[in-house]
Amino acid sequence: MSFFDTKIEFLKGVGPQRGATLQTELRIFTYADLLQHYPFRYDDRSKIYSIAELHEHLPYVQVRGKLVHFGVVGEGGKKRMVAYVQDATGELELVWFRNAIKYVEKQLKIGEEYIVFGKPNLYNNSINVTHPEMDTIEEASRKISTLQPVYSSTEKLKNIGLDSKGISKLIYTLLQQLKEPIPETIPQYIMQRHGLIPKTTAVQLIHFPTNTDRLEQARYRLKFEELFYVQIRLISLKVNRKNSFAGHIFRTIPLVNEFYKHHLPFTLTDAQKKVIREIYSDMSSGKQMNRLLQGDVGSGKTMVAFICMLMAVDNNAQACLMAPTEILADQHLAGLKPYADALGINIAKLSGSSKKSERTRIHEQLLNGTLHLLVGTHALLEDVVQFKNLGLCIIDEQHRFGVAQRAKMWAKNKALPPHVLVMTATPIPRTLAMTLYGDLDLSVIDQMPAGRKPIQTVHRKDANRLAVFGFMRQEIQKGRQVYVVYPLIEENDKMALKDLMDGYESISRSFPDYQLSIVHGKMKAADKDYEMQRFIKKETQIMVATTVIEVGVNVPNASVMVIENAERFGLAQLHQLRGRVGRGAEQSYCILMTKDYLSTDGKVRISTMCETTNGFEIADVDLKLRGPGDLMGTQQSGILDLLITDLATDGDILKQARADAEELLLMDNTLSYPQHICIKQQIARQQQNSTNWARIS
C-alpha cells in the first residue's frame, strides 16, 4: 500500500470522527482523495479594505479590525451570534447562525485583532458580514501567498471546524509530510509535447500557488490529465469493442424498399437520408454498431428509427425502441403501428403498467420470434425480456439512459450483441459530446423537414396576461391547440403543483367554452394517458401540464406553447418545451411568461430563446451560463465527474488530450508498452476509488 492510500483519519488533525464526515460529505477516503480536493476559486487577499469603505456590491473582501464584543442574541430559529470588529474608520457587525455559534464562541477572543474575510451585505440599513472567516494576524501572516485557495465544504464539515480554511490546513499538513513524489500519470513523451509540469509540482501549486502564472501551469497540467483519462477510457471502450465484437449483418432490405415506395407519408429530408445511409453502412459491415443520432426536436428521428428497425426485420432479426416515459412509448406505438400493419409485421408495447397476461404473451412472442418490433419504457431492460434474435436496439432521448443501461442491452442477445442506436434531441456542444459520448460514433440530422415555419418566440409579463389569453383564443378559433406549461422542479414540489392547479382554475374560468386537459406527475399513468389522448384527438383545446410533456410528445395541430414562470426553467428545457409546437405547417408561437424582475442569467436565457431556435446555439449559451454539470444528461451519465475542467472553456485542452489518447491507443491498445505502465496503474487507482465510493452510496 502506498502512502497515498493511507486512510484520511490517520492524518494529523483528522481522527475517526472528522474522517468519517470527510468520507460521507466529500468522499474523501484517503490522502490521495484529499490532495484531489482542489480549490474551486482563489481569493486575492492582497488588499485590506477599511470598514468605512464597505458596501453591499463588493465581492468577498477582507478588513482588519479588533474584536470588541460578541454575544448570542435572539431565540429559537432566530438565535444567532453577533460580534463587532473595529478599525480606525468604524465598526462592523459579524453574524453567525446555528451550529457555527458554538464554534465561534470557542475560537474568538475579545481584544484580539483579526483579518475578517467575507461578503458585505446590506441588512437593516447597515453593512454586516455573515459567517466571515476569521484569521488572527499571526495566522494570516503564515499564509504562503496572496492567492488564497477556497475549498468547497458542507454545513456538517463546517460544524467540526472543516470549513475552507480547515481543509486548507489539512492539505498543508499533508503536503508537509510528503516523503515521495505523487506517482506520475502522464507518459514522459506526452508531458514534453505539451510542456506539462510534473504531477507533484502541479498538486502543490494548485493548493498553494506562488503566483498566477504558476497557478495557470498547475491548472493546465491537471486539466489535461483529467481529460486525457476520460478520453483514454472512452476510446479504449470503443477500440476494444470494435476489435472484439462482430455484429449482425443486415444487407438485404426488401421491407425497407416496400415501405419507402408505398407507405412513406412524406419525402425524407437529405439529412434523414444521410444518417440512414450511415446507419445502414454500419449495420451491413459485420461490426457491431454503437452510434449516437443527434437531431434537434422535430427533425424527424422517429422515422429514421423505424426504417432502421425494418432493416433488422428484413434480416430475420428483431428490433426494439426504448423511450424514457410511458407517454412517449404509447406515442411511438400509435405512430408506428399503422405502418407495421400495412407491412404485415407485428409490433407491441411493453411497460411497467402492462398487464400480466399481456406481458406473458409478449415474452412468449419475443422468444418464438413472431413479435418483430417492441417499443416500451425501461421495462425492456428487465432480465425476463428475452428475444429470439435481437438485432437492433434503439434508445430514444438518450439523456435518461447511461452507459450501464446500454451495456444491459448489449447483453440481451446471446450469439451477437445487437446494434445500438441512441437518439437524442438534446443539442450537445461538440466538446461535451466528445466527453460524454466519446465511445459512440456520431450522426447528426442537421436539417428540418421542409415547410416548417420558425417558431415565433416572445417574452411577456404577468401584466400582459389578458392579452396572452386573447391571443390563445384567437388561435383556438383558427382550430389550433395550445399548451400551457408550469415548472415542476421536483416531484414533490407542493407549491409548484398549487401553481399548476391555480393556473388550471383561472384558464378554465377564462375559457368556459373550451375543453381543457391536465397532466402532471402526481397523476396515475392511466389518467395521464387518458388526458393526453383527449388532446391528441382534439377533444380538448388547451393542455395544462407540467414538464411531463417535455420530451418527444408530438401533436402537430398544437401551435401555441405558453410557458409559465419561464425564468425558472433552464435553457435546454425551454428549448425542449418549445419543440412541442411548430410540428405542423402552421405558424407556431412560444410565449415565455415571467415575473417582472429577472436575474442576469434569467434575462440571458429569455433573450436567447427569443433570438434563436437553433438548438446548438442555445446549448452553447447554456454551457457558458451553467457549466456542464447542470446540463441535461451529464449528472446521469456517470462518466462525467470532472474535478477541475470547465468544458465551456477548456475545449482546446480536450482536443489535445483526445488526439493524444487516440494516437496512443492506436499504437498500444492494451497499454503494455513500458512508457504506458503509468497509465495502467492510474486506471487501477481510479477503479479502486470507485469501489470506495460504492461502499458509501
If the CB atoms of residues 427 and 628 are measured against ligand ADP, the closer one turns out to be 427
The entry of ligand ADP, Mg ion, none that residue 269 binds, CB within 5 to 8 Å by partner kind: ligand ADP
DSSP conformational letter for 421: E
Interface with Mg ion (CB under 5 A), residue from 552, 582, 615, 628: 552
If the CB atoms of residues 267 and 687 are measured against ligand ADP, the closer one turns out to be 267
| Other beta carbons less than 10 A from residue 470's beta carbon | 11
CB of 119 to ligand ADP, least distance (A): 44
Coil, strand or helix at 482: strand
Distances (CA, A) of 527 to 14, 464, 511, 563: 55, 33, 22, 23
Terminal-residue alpha carbon distance, the chain: 24
Helix axes of 677-696 and 212-244: crossing angle, nearest 10 degrees: 90
CB of 584 to ligand ADP, least distance (A): 8
Site for Mg ion in 394-433 (CB under 5 A): none
The C-alpha atoms of residue 591 and residue 484 are separated, in whole angstroms, by 9
Taking the CA atoms of 397, 298, 607 and 469 in sequence, report the sign of the dihedral they define.
negative
CB of 329 to ligand ADP, least distance (A): 13
Which residues are CB-contacts of 585 (< 8 A; sequence separation ≥ 6)?
451, 452, 453
CB of 322 to Mg ion, least distance (A): 12
Which residues are CB-contacts of 605 (< 8 A; sequence separation ≥ 6)?
567, 569, 570, 571, 574, 621, 625
Residue nearest to Mg ion (CB): 552
If the CB atoms of residues 227 and 347 are measured against ligand ADP, the closer one turns out to be 347
- 298 in contact with Mg ion (CB under 5 A): no
The number of residues in the chain equals 697
CB of 587 to ligand ADP, least distance (A): 16
If the CB atoms of residues 185 and 424 are measured against Mg ion, the closer one turns out to be 424
The entry of Mg ion, ligand ADP, none that residue 449 binds, CB within 5 to 8 Å by partner kind: ligand ADP
The entry of ligand ADP, Mg ion, none that residue 149 binds, CB within 5 to 8 Å by partner kind: none
If the CB atoms of residues 49 and 483 are measured against ligand ADP, the closer one turns out to be 483
CB of 560 to ligand ADP, least distance (A): 17
| Other beta carbons less than 10 A from residue 450's beta carbon | 9
If the CB atoms of residues 319 and 468 are measured against Mg ion, the closer one turns out to be 319
Provide the pairing of β-strand 390-396 with 147-150.
Answer: unpaired
| Other beta carbons less than 10 A from residue 304's beta carbon | 25
DSSP conformational letter for 381: G
If the CB atoms of residues 149 and 552 are measured against Mg ion, the closer one turns out to be 552
The entry of Mg ion, ligand ADP, none that residue 484 binds, CB within 5 to 8 Å by partner kind: none
CB of 557 to Mg ion, least distance (A): 17
Contacting residues toward ligand ADP, per CB under 6 A: 266-269, 272, 295, 297-303, 425, 449, 552, 554, 556, 583
The entry of Mg ion, ligand ADP, none that residue 683 binds, CB within 5 to 8 Å by partner kind: none
The entry of ligand ADP, Mg ion, none that residue 325 binds, CB within 5 to 8 Å by partner kind: none
CB of 302 to ligand ADP, least distance (A): 3
CB of 619 to ligand ADP, least distance (A): 15
- The closest alpha carbon to 112, from 89, 73, 85, belongs to 85
Site for Mg ion in 263-282 (CB under 5 A): none
CB of 269 to ligand ADP, least distance (A): 5
Q: 149: which strand partners?
A: 42
If the CB atoms of residues 334 and 598 are measured against ligand ADP, the closer one turns out to be 334
The C-alpha atoms of residue 280 and residue 284 are separated, in whole angstroms, by 6
If the CB atoms of residues 419 and 580 are measured against Mg ion, the closer one turns out to be 580
Question: Which one of the spans 142-150, 458-466, 551-559, 577-585 is the region binding Mg ion (CB under 5 A)?
Answer: 551-559
The entry of Mg ion, ligand ADP, none that residue 303 binds, CB within 5 to 8 Å by partner kind: ligand ADP
If the CB atoms of residues 135 and 296 are measured against ligand ADP, the closer one turns out to be 296
If the CB atoms of residues 204 and 302 are measured against ligand ADP, the closer one turns out to be 302
Distances (CA, A) of 307 to 269, 273, 441, 644, 680: 14, 10, 19, 43, 42
If the CB atoms of residues 272 and 354 are measured against ligand ADP, the closer one turns out to be 272
* Residues 18-32 as b or e (16 or more Cβ within 10 Å = b): bbebbbebbebbbbb
| Contact criterion met (CB below 8 Å) for 154 and 26 | yes
Exposure on the CB side of residue 284, measured as CA atoms within 13 A:
12
Question: Which one of the spans 77-85, 247-255, 285-293, 545-553 is the region binding Mg ion (CB under 5 A)?
Answer: 545-553
| Contact criterion met (CB below 8 Å) for 42 and 148 | yes
The C-alpha atoms of residue 478 and residue 558 are separated, in whole angstroms, by 11
CB of 547 to ligand ADP, least distance (A): 16
CB of 396 to Mg ion, least distance (A): 6
* Residues 368-401 as b or e (16 or more Cβ within 10 Å = b): eeebbbbbbbbbbbeeebebebbbbbbbbbbbbb
The entry of Mg ion, ligand ADP, none that residue 487 binds, CB within 5 to 8 Å by partner kind: none
Coil, strand or helix at 419: strand
Site string for Mg ion, 473-502 (x = CB under 5 A): ------------------------------
CB of 552 to Mg ion, least distance (A): 4
The entry of Mg ion, ligand ADP, none that residue 266 binds, CB within 5 to 8 Å by partner kind: ligand ADP
3-state helix, strand, coil in the chain (%, to 5): 45, 20, 35
If the CB atoms of residues 556 and 570 are measured against ligand ADP, the closer one turns out to be 556
Coil, strand or helix at 456: strand
The C-alpha atoms of residue 684 and residue 172 are separated, in whole angstroms, by 27
Residue nearest to ligand ADP (CB): 300
Residue ranges binding Mg ion (CB under 5 A): 552
